[in-house]
Structure 1
Amino acid sequence: MKQIIIFIAFIILLSCSDKKKSLEVIDKPNQKINQYLSFAQDESIASENRIKYSDSAYFELQFKTNDSTTRRNYFKVANRYFSLYELDKYKNVAAKALQLGKSSKDSITIAKALSYLGDYYFEKARNDSAYWYYNDAEKLYKNINDKENLAKTILYKAYVLLYEKDFLGSETATIRALDISKGIDDDMLIYECYVNLGSSLLGLDNYEKALYYHSKALIQVEKLKKSFFYDIFKAQTFNNIGLVYQKNKLYKKAIDNFSKGLKVKNLLQLQPVVYSALLDNLAYSKFKLNKEEGLEELNRSLFIRDSIGNIAGIIKSKIHLSEYYLSKSDTTKALQLNNEANSLAKKSSYNQEILTTLDLYTKINPKTGLYYAKKYIKLSDSLYDLERATRNKLARIEFETDEIIHENEEISSEKKVILGVSILVAFIGGLLYIILFQRSKQKELLFTQQQQKVNEEIYQLMLDQQVKLDEAKNNEKNRIARELHDGIMNKLASTRLNLYILTKRTDEETIQKCIGHINEIQNIEKEVRAIAHELSNNVFSEKSNFKSILSELLIEQQNLYDADCEYTIDKKIQWDNVDVEVKMHLYRILQEALNNCNKYAKAKTINVSIVKQEKIVTLQIRDDGEGFNVNKAKKGIGIKNMLQRISAVNGELNIESEIGKGTTLFFKIPIE
């Protein structure tokens, strides 16, 4: 992922360079400013002096009138600062250009300044702000029909979504940008869209589609032979294809593509970042294929990355070398390299690499595995929460923008309708007044009454529709809450109980077993992300033998918890004939009841009975636990969910409990 983001930043830098070239116009009245700008662009001059020339050009601009030439020069200064990575100065100049554009009502300047500010915030990893500015720029480019910049801005939004791991959203936005790019035959934009589509689909683990788009990018790059960056693009595309094969564990094909990328002429001199990435990926694939290979290339890649100060690359190289030495049982060298990678990742705030090093610690030194496993879980959870919060922000920005546009369109449409109707009514009224004053008065009054009645009916329909929408929203929220509580929470509780043993036993065997449950937590994360799919009834309709599903749940109860679980399921029940919704609610009720027994009852024995009497299925759950006062106990979310589920299938629930004598739940569910 870090290599993908570096490539995106590289593309944005190229874009800024293109913007800069398009703005370079000789202007005699501004010769002094142009001279400063020329010196600031001269790479033979030391960076600190180029910054001073850029400062001088910016200073001179303060005294210029707000005309189109001045505004163009502001963008030239901004480009100089960006190429020198003086980001804060770049932001100040872009903000000033935005101010001038607004005061002169110059939509082109406003849109360009918004796009520049988006680049600044994306470079600073403040992606919600970047998305906001790109979104506003997109609206303006659409209004002025600037299709090239519109496509670029939509693609930049896709980059933000990719960075935030909203791979589906990034794919959707990139397809929009690709459609526009094809319409204007922009070969560079088409290439960039193919690359980002491949990266988005790789994030979704759709290897086949990712290869399809990266292969199209490889074909498309041949149309860019006249570009100075042709060789770099070609090498990067081979690297992208190799990464897909590497992630899919097809190491021979990965090695073949990384090797092709390294064969690009003068790549080390042209772009050492891409060259070292290809070399590292080649070495790592060789190592994964054959534990005896790859060391020489890994060390050479680290040397190149260290010489150019490529922090992300240095971290990646040291992680790969640590894995190599670990495979050779050289834990001292592996630990040293992993410590260096972890320290550098923390200093540079590369959170994904921090997670990788924490995972490596558990393998290098299993005795301290529990400590690092806890740190891994804590960081992983915090990163997930941060990613989810940012994605929610981006979704709100998109939604609120669409809503405002829709409202403005409605208002504009209403004004046109009102104006048209008013003119028509005035014309007819005036004509009828001339013909017959009294009759026109009567008709006007009748028209007004009818219009009022229609308006009242429309208003009532709107109120009714809103009530239905609110009711549907509440029902859906309640349904999702039940599914989260009955499904996800139970799995989390089970995982927590399995990890609880670590508070009592910390031997190596126990730690190794418990580390495996971290993967279960990751599976639960995936299940939450796919909640829209998991909340469907498919899990019960795909398996015809519902009895085996119930048995698996009860066997899992017996294996995971201290209480003995005894159960009987009536063989006469023809589950295939029972409605899928009834089976789903029955399963969730049983799951919640068992969870309550495990959490609160402290029972030694649990008895479960499922029997059929005529057209009624009776579910009985009895435990010998602590019991409770049915009349005084508060109904928690678990009991409420069970009541809602039993009500959904027109069933009955009866609870019998007494303190110290256990609890019995009776569920009666009608079936056809």
Structure 2
Amino acid sequence: MKYFTLLILFIVFISCSESKREEQEMTVQSQKIDNYLSLAQKETISKEMRIRFGDLAYETIRKNKNDSITRRNYFKVANRYFPLYELEKYKKVTNEVLELGKKSKDSATIGKALYYLGDYFFENAKNDSAYWYYNNAEKIYNKIDDKENLANTILHKAYVLLYEKDFLGSETATIKALDISLNISDKLLVYQCYGNLGSALSGLGNYEKALYYHEKALLQIEKLKDNYLYEDFKAQTFNNIGLVYQNNNQYEKALANFSQGLKINNLLRTQPVLYSALLDNYAYSKFKLDNNDGFEELNRALFLRDSINNIAGIIKSKIHLTEYYLSKSNSFKALQLNNEAYYLAKESNYNNEILKTLDLYTKIDPSKGLSYAKQYITLSDSLYDLERATRNKLARIEYETDEIIHENQEISSQKKTILTVSILVAFIGGLLFIILFQRAKQKELMFTQEQQKANEEIYQLMLDQQTKIDEVKNIEKNRIARELHDGIMNKLASTRLNLFVLTKRNDEETIKKCIGHINEIQNIEKEVRVIAHELSNDTFSEKGNFKTILTELLTEQRELYNPECVYEIDKDIVWENIDIEIKMHLYRILQEALNNCNKYANAENIYVNIDKQEKIVTLQITDDGDGFNTNKAKKGIGMKNMLQRTEAVKGDFKITSEIGKGTTIFIKLPIN
């Protein structure tokens, strides 16, 4: 018995010693990891050594068990790799911690890892992948109610949309992030949201509202004085405000803001990329105010950007210097710099900068203007297609993620319902079987019959509801088809006709004039986006004077097309009292009729009359063109649209035409 007791005591002693030894080893390892992580972050040692210390921390962490401390340390290692631009190591570590999070069912770790992977792909300009990871991280943060990370993730989705020029989408996402940031009083996130809202609105051309949000960002910075990036935030915001003024051709105000940014202490040392951008923008604004000024600053900005290998900045500086030399009629130097900017932009896939250099080529070497113009048009079209495809892909990612979550929720709900009902039915069935078997059978049969009847009723209701949905879809499809045909197609046709002259004439004046029409393609893109995000009525409700809108359309007809256009608009018509829908349909009918005259009529004269007779507005469009047989001619989509628009507001539509004697369209639209 004595020996047995001694044996037990010995085993207990050994166990305690082993436990204490393991605890000491864990403490030593923890200290070692902290030391490696600290050294990997130290800016006074070389980049290579910092990477090496990051690697040592990573190898040490991998030996530890999968617990919350280990997962947190993985993220710390990733944060050491990212600023050193060791992106592949950053991705590898993040993928490993993602798997650890899944094994431990740690939603916070999974969400953070997905967000980190979004940063990886965004940094590599793979925006569709970045958006996918941000979107999935958002769903997890929303589920676990992590407001701070949720707002930050939504804001990064907005950054992706801004980069892809989906300015409306970026604005919407940023407002969502801003609401959350204000609710949780996160001062830094509020500042970042204000800044991105300003950039998105500037992209939409709403410079007044863009300045409003950039000014709010500037005020918000004063609440961040304890942040070590306080001065950098101020410089960035001054640069943003200056760019809005610069884009709006208000160069004196732009100059004042760029100057404020350059006054920030130690900016050249801490943020050389931002400092050189401010200096270049400052110099460019000086040049725009006086083409004899800004040359020294432009050259210094180029020197700084070249010294830090800031490729995007180098291209922009050389483009600005090209403009300077062009203003001095120094074509040789302008051509040299523009060539350097063009090939560097092409090598680095900076497509917008390539477009700017092609535009400058037409001014530097007008003899080859047609060739450069064709390259400009081809690249611009391909960029438009690429941007549209990317935005569609991002929209599909958002939609498909929501669909999967919705389906999973439905399946989970169905399983719970089935389980609950099954247990209840089994319990009741067993109890009733003991009491009275026959009665249980009878009740079960009645229940089945009632359930079948209820299912039939539900099925019929679903059929009725689907029929209503299909009707609404068809109505909406027809409306969108009319909007696209009457608005977008007409403008595309107009742009094509204006650019067609390049096939016949290639003098400098024609080329310059035609390049201006390329911007109309961007306006058409904006109109497509407006159709997708707003009600068609809003286009007309935003403009105060409808008569001005009509006059602009008729003036454009007179200036851009061969037929002589004469028009009369009744001065006594009070357009503000007429329903927006009637005005919209009147405008689109007139637009379609003029387009048909330009394309098919071969007319020399067009007469348009808009008159008011009591409670009716009449529209008459007459041309002296080829005419056609109204009984034999097929009604195209344009004619159908005019007829449908007239019928939509309970009006009368009449068309008379005779071969060789022109065509007259007469429409009556009732008004209240």
Q: Per the shorter chain, which TM-score range?
A: 0.7 to 0.9
Matched, 1:273 2:280: no
| Aligned equivalents of 2:179, 2:669: Cα separation in 1 | 54
Match of 1:468 in 2: 468
Q: Deviations over 1:160-209 (max 9, x none)?
A: 12212223332332333333334444333333223223323333333344
Q: Offset of 1:123 from its aligned partner?
A: 0.3
Match of 1:166 in 2: 166
Match of 2:537 in 1: 536
Q: Offset of 1:624 from its aligned partner?
A: 5.0
Q: Deviations over 1:17-68 (max 9, x none)?
A: xxxxxxxxx9523666666555544445443454455445545656554444
Q: Determine if contact 1:630/1:656 at 8 Å carries over to the other structure.
A: no
| Aligned equivalents of 1:432, 1:27: Cα separation in 2 | 64
| Aligned equivalents of 1:541, 1:260: Cα separation in 2 | 36
Q: Offset of 1:281 from its aligned partner?
A: 1.9
| Aligned equivalents of 2:541, 2:174: Cα separation in 1 | 36
CA gap 1:468/1:339 in 2 versus in 1, 3 angstroms? same
Matched, 1:254 2:226: no
Q: Offset of 1:639 from its aligned partner?
A: 4.3
Structure 2: segments with no counterpart, 5+ residues = 1-25
Q: Determine if contact 2:134/2:153 at 8 Å carries over to the other structure.
A: yes
TM-score of the superposition, structure 2-length normalised?
0.81
Match of 2:382 in 1: 382
Q: Offset of 1:244 from its aligned partner?
A: 2.9
| Aligned equivalents of 1:390, 1:373: Cα separation in 2 | 26
Q: Determine if contact 2:47/2:84 at 8 Å carries over to the other structure.
A: yes
Greater shift, 502-511 or 590-599, is seen at 590-599
Q: Which amino acid aligns with 2:626?
A: G
Q: Determine if contact 2:164/2:387 at 8 Å carries over to the other structure.
A: yes
| Aligned equivalents of 2:246, 2:137: Cα separation in 1 | 37
Greater shift, 608-617 or 622-631, is seen at 608-617
CA gap 1:92/1:491 in 2 versus in 1, 3 angstroms? same
Q: 1:360 aligns to what SS in structure 2?
A: helix
Q: Which amino acid aligns with 1:499?
A: L
Q: Which amino acid aligns with 2:517?
A: H
| Aligned equivalents of 1:575, 1:196: Cα separation in 2 | 39
Q: Offset of 1:483 from its aligned partner?
A: 1.9
Match of 1:500 in 2: 500
| Aligned equivalents of 1:105, 1:251: Cα separation in 2 | 56
| Aligned equivalents of 2:619, 2:260: Cα separation in 1 | 67
Q: Determine if contact 1:607/1:623 at 8 Å carries over to the other structure.
A: no
| Aligned equivalents of 2:437, 2:398: Cα separation in 1 | 55
Matched, 1:402 2:390: no
Q: Determine if contact 1:604/1:625 at 8 Å carries over to the other structure.
A: no
| Aligned equivalents of 2:487, 2:198: Cα separation in 1 | 34
Match of 1:47 in 2: 47
| Aligned equivalents of 2:141, 2:570: Cα separation in 1 | 67
Matches within 5 A, 1:477-626: 477-531=477-531, 535-536=536-537, 539=540, 557=557, 560-562=560-562, 581=581, 584-585=584-585, 588-600=588-600, 602=602, 625=626
Q: Which amino acid aligns with 1:277?
A: A
Q: Offset of 1:119 from its aligned partner?
A: 0.4
What's the C-alpha RMSD, in Å, of the aligned pairs? 4.2
| Aligned equivalents of 2:143, 2:546: Cα separation in 1 | 58
Match of 2:207 in 1: 207
Match of 1:8 in 2: none
Q: Deviations over 1:214-246 (max 9, x none)?
A: 333333333433333222222222222333333
Q: Deviations over 1:244-298 (max 9, x none)?
A: 3333333333333322222222221122112212222222222223333222222
Q: Which amino acid aligns with 2:350?
A: Y
| Aligned equivalents of 1:606, 1:341: Cα separation in 2 | 49
| Aligned equivalents of 2:460, 2:254: Cα separation in 1 | 64
Matched, 1:219 2:219: yes
| Aligned equivalents of 1:115, 1:33: Cα separation in 2 | 24
| Aligned equivalents of 1:240, 1:98: Cα separation in 2 | 36
Q: Offset of 1:341 from its aligned partner?
A: 1.8
Q: Offset of 1:328 from its aligned partner?
A: 2.6
Matched, 1:338 2:334: no
Q: Deviations over 1:392-444 (max 9, x none)?
A: 22222223333444444455556666777777888888999999998887777
| Aligned equivalents of 2:101, 2:572: Cα separation in 1 | 78
Q: 1:221 aligns to what SS in structure 2?
A: helix
Matched, 1:240 2:240: yes
| Aligned equivalents of 1:43, 1:577: Cα separation in 2 | 69
Q: Offset of 1:387 from its aligned partner?
A: 2.0
Match of 1:179 in 2: 179
Greater shift, 567-576 or 358-367, is seen at 567-576
Residues matched between the structures, number: 644
Q: 1:145 aligns to what SS in structure 2?
A: coil
Q: Deviations over 1:443-492 (max 9, x none)?
A: 77666555544443333223222222222122212221122112221222
CA gap 1:567/1:223 in 2 versus in 1, 3 angstroms? closer
Q: Offset of 1:579 from its aligned partner?
A: 7.0
CA gap 1:503/1:207 in 2 versus in 1, 3 angstroms? closer
Q: Determine if contact 2:537/2:581 at 8 Å carries over to the other structure.
A: no
Match of 1:18 in 2: none
Matches within 5 A, 1:90-239: 90-239=90-239
| Aligned equivalents of 1:101, 1:656: Cα separation in 2 | 75
Q: Determine if contact 2:29/2:60 at 8 Å carries over to the other structure.
A: no
Q: Which amino acid aligns with 2:119?
A: D
| Aligned equivalents of 1:234, 1:644: Cα separation in 2 | 56
| Aligned equivalents of 1:262, 1:577: Cα separation in 2 | 53
CA gap 1:419/1:219 in 2 versus in 1, 3 angstroms? same
Q: Offset of 1:70 from its aligned partner?
A: 3.9
Q: Determine if contact 1:537/1:581 at 8 Å carries over to the other structure.
A: no
Q: Determine if contact 2:589/2:645 at 8 Å carries over to the other structure.
A: yes
CA gap 1:217/1:596 in 2 versus in 1, 3 angstroms? closer
Q: 2:506 aligns to what SS in structure 1?
A: coil
| Aligned equivalents of 2:389, 2:150: Cα separation in 1 | 27
CA gap 1:391/1:440 in 2 versus in 1, 3 angstroms? same
Q: Offset of 1:85 from its aligned partner?
A: 1.0
Q: Offset of 1:307 from its aligned partner?
A: 0.9
| Aligned equivalents of 1:543, 1:180: Cα separation in 2 | 36
Q: 1:530 aligns to what SS in structure 2?
A: helix
Q: Deviations over 1:133-170 (max 9, x none)?
A: 01111222222333332222122112112212223332
Q: Determine if contact 2:608/2:622 at 8 Å carries over to the other structure.
A: yes
| Aligned equivalents of 2:618, 2:339: Cα separation in 1 | 60
TM-score of the superposition, structure 1-length normalised?
0.81
Match of 1:82 in 2: 82
Q: Which amino acid aligns with 2:305?
A: R
Q: Determine if contact 1:564/1:605 at 8 Å carries over to the other structure.
A: yes
Matched, 1:295 2:295: yes
Q: Determine if contact 2:540/2:546 at 8 Å carries over to the other structure.
A: no
| Aligned equivalents of 1:258, 1:385: Cα separation in 2 | 35
Q: Offset of 1:117 from its aligned partner?
A: 0.6
| Aligned equivalents of 2:45, 2:269: Cα separation in 1 | 20
| Aligned equivalents of 1:173, 1:403: Cα separation in 2 | 19
Q: Determine if contact 2:630/2:657 at 8 Å carries over to the other structure.
A: no
Q: Offset of 1:129 from its aligned partner?
A: 1.0
Q: Determine if contact 1:625/1:663 at 8 Å carries over to the other structure.
A: yes
Q: Offset of 1:311 from its aligned partner?
A: 1.3
| Aligned equivalents of 1:332, 1:630: Cα separation in 2 | 65
Greater shift, 173-182 or 345-354, is seen at 173-182
Structure 1: segments with no counterpart, 5+ residues = 1-25
| Aligned equivalents of 2:213, 2:571: Cα separation in 1 | 53
| Aligned equivalents of 1:540, 1:239: Cα separation in 2 | 35
Q: Determine if contact 2:283/2:297 at 8 Å carries over to the other structure.
A: yes
